[in-house]
Amino acid sequence: MTTEAAIRVQGIQKSFKDLHVLRGVDFDVAAGTIFALLGSNGAGKTTLVRILSTLAKADAGTATVHGLDVAANPGEVREAISLTGQFAAVDEVLTGRENLMLIARLRHLKNPGAIADELLDRFSLTEAGGRKAATYSGGMRRRLDIAMSLIGNPPIIFLDEPTTGLDPQARIEVWQTVKKLADAGTTVLLTTQYLDEAEQLADRIAILHKGTIIQNGTLSELKQLLPAATVEYVEKQPTLEEVFLTLVGDTGETDTDDADRADSAAKAGKESR
């Protein structure tokens, strides 16, 4: 692992007509780390991710991903990244296994079937692999979505609000997946509006507010800056979650490798909604 920045964002600006969404954003993400971009709805998180993943062009500033300028070399950047957008980008008509094979084929890899089976196993979806993705629970769909992003082992992964709309068990499953990714050396940039999510996952956290980064640091650095009221909210949230998980039976945490358990967790997730 190098200390060189996997993602470097300098002075990025973006406007939609009169709306200045990004007003000069700067930050670096070190390779192999998890970087959380924290911000409320409409803060510009998704716009920034879209620029970094070559889906949108910045009005000003430069961004390099994996040492490549996103504006000048979008094609090469796409070889190095994977995007998991805000809405699970799975093909609902295809089965889980077919979804994975589709992406493997589009990445021009050999043995798409073997790649699909390996990922189904890794994400506890082996049993559900032959079913249409439309029948999946929110958590399973998100796991499939992330699994699709891992095909071809891109060194950098963007996760745009990966747990929005998920129930607590599914959220924990996603968190575990993200942690495993970073352990394996993948650089992860994730956006979230949940403070506890950034707290759980991120090596560094940047707060995007009104189009600029107003703070950027490790959790302990930031904790000293946050107003007391916010800290209280963060501490209360896990307590309620603990109660909830105890009441419904915490199945998400331990057995990510067991398809049966994951399925029942997904079912429990459905019922809890």
Partner 1 sequence: MTTHVLSDTRVLTGRSLTHILRSPDTIITTAVTPIALMLLFVYVLGGAINTGSDESYINYMLPGILLITIASGIAYTAYRLFLDLQGGIFERFQSMPIARSSVLWAHVLTSVVANLVSVAIVIGVALIMGFRTGASVGAWLAVAGILAMFTLALTWLAVVAGLSAKTVDGASAFSYPLIFLPFISSAFVPTDTMPAPVAWFAENQPVTSIVNSTRALFAGEPVGSEIWVALAWLVGILVVAYVWAMSIYRRKIS
Residues that bind partner 1 (CB under 8 A): 53-55, 57, 75, 78-79, 81-83, 85-94, 98, 102-103, 105-108, 132, 148
Q: Which is nearer to partner 1, 79 or 221 (CB)?
A: 79
At residue 174, the 3 state secondary structure works out as helix
Q: How far is the CB of 105 from partner 1 (least distance, A)?
A: 5
Q: How far is the CB of 266 from partner 1 (least distance, A)?
A: 20
Q: How far is the CB of 99 from partner 1 (least distance, A)?
A: 9
Q: Which is nearer to partner 1, 116 or 205 (CB)?
A: 116
Q: How far is the CB of 250 from partner 1 (least distance, A)?
A: 30
Cα 143 to Cα 155: distance, rounded to the nearest angstrom: 19
What are the helix and strand counts (H, E) for the chain?
A: 10, 10
Cα 17 to Cα 34: distance, rounded to the nearest angstrom: 33
Under 8 Å between Cβ of 25 and 61: yes
DSSP-derived secondary structure for 55-122? SS--SEEEEEETTEETTT-HHHHHHHEEEE-SS----SSSBHHHHHHHHHHHTT-S-HHHHHHHHHHH
In 3D space, the residue among 165, 132, 143 whose CA is nearest the CA of residue 262 turns out to be 143
Q: Which is nearer to partner 1, 57 or 180 (CB)?
A: 57
Q: Which is nearer to partner 1, 55 or 234 (CB)?
A: 55
Q: Which is nearer to partner 1, 148 or 265 (CB)?
A: 148
Under 8 Å between Cβ of 192 and 41: no
Q: How far is the CB of 102 from partner 1 (least distance, A)?
A: 6
